[in-house]
Amino acid sequence: MPNDTSTAASPPRHIAILGSTGSIGTQALEVVRAHPGRFVVEVLTAGRNADLLISQALEFKPNAVAIADVSQLDKVKDALWSADIKVYGGEDAVAQLVEMESIQVVLSAIVGFAGLAPTMRAIEAGKHIAIANKETLVVAGELVTQAAERKNVALLPVDSEHSAIFQCLSGEGHNPIEKLILTASGGPFRGFSAEQLASVTLEQALKHPNWTMGAKITIDSASMMNKGLEVIEAKWLFDVSVDQIEVAVHPQSIVHSCVQFQDGSVIAQLGVPDMKLPIQYALGYPQRLPNAFPRFSFTDYPQLTFEQPDPGAFRNLQLAYDVIAEGGSAPCVLNAANEIAVAAFLKKEVGFTQMSAVIEEALASVQTVQKPSLEALFEIDTLARDAAHRAIKSA
Ligand code: NDP
């Protein structure tokens, strides 16, 4: 597929959407809806939102669906029994379905570590991956990129920043990258000091100025952990060292990211903040499919501004750089502890700045393993989650 030059008249692309009931999943289905005949939805999977999965299945008529929460399985089966759609339950079923022969591209849009197993399984089955689930690359970037290379499958970025970089690199052949400039909106607390951050509320943190996203990534954006995870994601996707990745806070979220080449030229990708664009680019790659999505105009945005991030106030960004420097399983620990800390913040069990403290405690208590296997990463993930829970209890 990476060299596929098919046109809109070519045969449709057969896709699986993991996490179809989430923010990325539902927007991916909007893309499918906008291009009748271009995509065939083979598989949809959900965590526990049975009602939405059922209505998606009835509309898009996939070959099969899976719901991770087995307590919802009967409900989905009852609703779809007459629709000739196979229905499965459990996390294993989600991972198994990606192996279906007819699937060409798997959109990995489950949130968190839960996306790792099905994504790896899809790569091993030779499927191209449209990757939204950044946690997979944070936890197991080396294993994932090696497996993708071995299986000759494309990792097509969906994260808007990484899609931007991917697009900037298009046609650049082997021209070396001097620097990647990852833009960040700065979230709702841009410019806040550490003292101000200590008293922000959940409600404030959930109000992202530019993007509507799932709860976890919204909190990650507010805490700048999202940018930290993206730095790690960029390192693996584009094979650069971390000191070649610069973060620039750009509150308008129009310049999605840039590449600086060794002649000093900087190429940027621009567009309105709309995830349907990078989703469509990944699913339709290498074609740019026509659409009626909103267009960018410079006159609507007369000022595009850029500033430096403040890793002193936003401790998570520094922690992400620290774990890359440490390497091995350290990013896996950071990711697991962050998932637990964010879940606790969403339940108002910890304050905003306590999330970083929980992650630091987990990092201090779980020993780093260099060159971990996939199995080792699953064990380390569990250890890190336990350590984070202990840190929350003792807070
Ligand atoms: P959401 O929380 O909106 O959706 C997550 C999806 O994963 C849902 O379909 C959910 O199912 C499913 N899910 C959750 N847990 C499990 C599990 N254990 N097993 C199987 N499925 C599960 O997240 P987003 O769509 O916002 O984000 C998805 C990924 O994309 C994340 O990694 C995020 O960082 C990344 N991303 C998101 C962007 C965005 O704009 N939203 C932008 C760039 C990247 P259910 O709801 O049925 O429980």
What is the pLDDT at residue 211? 85
The atom of ligand 1 lying closest to the CA of 94 is 20
Range 89-108 average pLDDT: 97
Arithmetic mean of pLDDT over the chain: 96
Strand, coil or helix: 125: coil
pLDDT tens, position by position, 236-269:
999 999 999 999 999 999 999 999 999 999 999 9
The more confidently predicted of residues 6 and 314 is 314
Q: Peptide bond preceding 286: is omega within 30 degrees of 0, i.e. cis?
A: yes
Q: In this model, does residue 74 exceed pLDDT 70?
A: yes
Q: In this model, does residue 213 exceed pLDDT 70?
A: yes
113 C-alpha to ligand 1 centroid (Å):
10
Name the residue with the closest Cα to ligand 1, atom 40: 213
Give the DSSP H/E element, type plus range, for residue 243: none
What is the pLDDT at residue 10? 77
Give Cα separations from 230 to 54, 90, 98, 168 (angstroms).
Answer: 32, 29, 25, 17
Please enumerate in sequence order all residues whose Cβ is within 8 A of that of 141, keeping only pairs 6 or more positions apart, or say none.
Answer: 232, 233, 235, 236, 331
Tokens at 34, concatenated: 């906008």
79 C-alpha to ligand 1 centroid (Å):
23
Q: In this model, does residue 9 exceed pLDDT 90?
A: no
Range 41-62 average pLDDT: 98
46 C-alpha to ligand 1 centroid (Å):
9
Q: In this model, does residue 136 exceed pLDDT 90?
A: yes
Torsion over CA of 156, 158, 161 and 164, rounded to 10 degrees?
50
* Alpha-carbon span 6 to 381, nearest angstrom: 41
User: Residue 149, Cβ neighbours under 10 Å: how many?
Assistant: 11
Q: Are strands 39-46 and 64-67 parallel, antiparallel or unpaired?
A: parallel
Query: Which residue among 106, 111, 225, 257 has the greatest number of ligand 1 atoms within 8 angstroms of its CB, and so is best to mutate?
Result: 111
User: Across-strand partners of 105?
Assistant: 15, 128
Q: Are 277 and 167 in contact (CB under 8 A)?
A: no
Q: Which residues line ligand 1 (CB under 6 A)?
A: 19-25, 46-49, 68, 91, 94, 109-111, 114, 132-135, 159, 211, 213-214, 216-217, 275
Q: Residue 144: which of 373, 382, 379 has the closest Cα? A: 373
pLDDT tens, position by position, 286-307:
999 999 999 999 999 999 999 9
345 C-alpha to ligand 1 centroid (Å):
18
pLDDT tens, position by position, 357-395:
999 999 999 999 999 999 999 999 999 999 999 999 998
User: Residue 98, Cβ neighbours under 10 Å: how many?
Assistant: 26
Range 347-363 average pLDDT: 98
Q: Are strands 255-261 and 266-270 parallel, antiparallel or unpaired?
A: antiparallel
239 C-alpha to ligand 1 centroid (Å):
25
Query: Which residue among 21, 24, 225 has the greatest number of ligand 1 atoms within 8 angstroms of its CB, and so is best to mutate?
Result: 24
Query: Which residue among 29, 69, 208, 217 has the greatest number of ligand 1 atoms within 8 angstroms of its CB, and so is best to mutate?
Result: 217
215 C-alpha to ligand 1 centroid (Å):
9
Please enumerate in sequence order all residues whose Cβ is within 8 A of that of 17, keeping only pairs 6 or more positions apart, or say none.
Answer: 25, 28, 29, 41, 43, 44, 45, 107, 109
